[in-house]
Amino acid sequence: MPDFTPDEMMTIAAARALRNEDVCFVGIGAPSAACNVARLTHAPDITLIYESGTIGTAPEVLPLSIGDGELCDTAVTTVSVPEMFRYWLQGGRVTVGFLGAAQLDRFGNINTTVIGDYHKPTVRLPGGGGAPEIATSCGEIFITMKQGKRGMVDKIDFFTSLGHGSGGDDRARHGVTTKGPTLLVTDLAVWRLDPATKEFTVVSLHPGVTREQVQESCGWTVRFADTLEQTPPPSALELKTLRDLQERTRIAHGEAA
């Protein structure tokens, strides 16, 4: 039995994708955990930006929302939300947007608005927030989420954030020139974008995971790379960094964490 959980493997695999020189627009939840593990390990100079206007933030605990005081207290500077979006994001100064999703399709389109019909939804979700702008204006998009047929679906119920539309050059035909989603990390596998079809393809299985498990927990027919690798297990440093961060968060926020 591995000495790490699928969630820990997901977070650490996602963290590894970030580079020291990145300027990263961070989503709350799993993306925030991954970005801060990267900052505390191999990417100490990464610039983390949150939607509330905090730039270069270095929280000791994971924020519960974009309005968490920890973000402002540890930031290099805090700017207004209009400046954040117009100058930093739409100005092309952010290399990576790191997002989660309630629903995701094979082309990286994200739904965080409603489950079911928009006018009579089964579930009303938190909404887009800044994610639609992040998805179109960042240099590229990384996505992290737990696998399951309710979340990874053949067709999303609502287009909150544009990925690659219907695939191929659909994103470009909508006038969007940034790369869009290029990486998906789940609790089972690492997925990369097929350059032609713009469909997510499994390139690496996490330790102990089979192809069958990936397919059983996905709502579309999964494509696997010709050369399928195994994700390197977490190192002792990566695990300690993540667990210490989560423990500090638990102490600071209690059950809300």
Which residues are catalytically annotated? 51
Q: How many whole angstroms separate alpha carbon 126 and alpha carbon 24?
A: 22
Q: How many whole angstroms separate alpha carbon 71 and alpha carbon 92?
A: 22
What is the radius of gyration, based on Cα positions, of the chain? Answer: 18
**147 neighbors 187 (Cβ within 8 angstroms):** yes
Q: For residue 98, which of 151, 24, 200 has the smallest C-alpha distance?
A: 24
Q: How many whole angstroms separate alpha carbon 210 and alpha carbon 228?
A: 11
Q: For residue 38, which of 9, 62, 17 has the smallest C-alpha distance?
A: 17
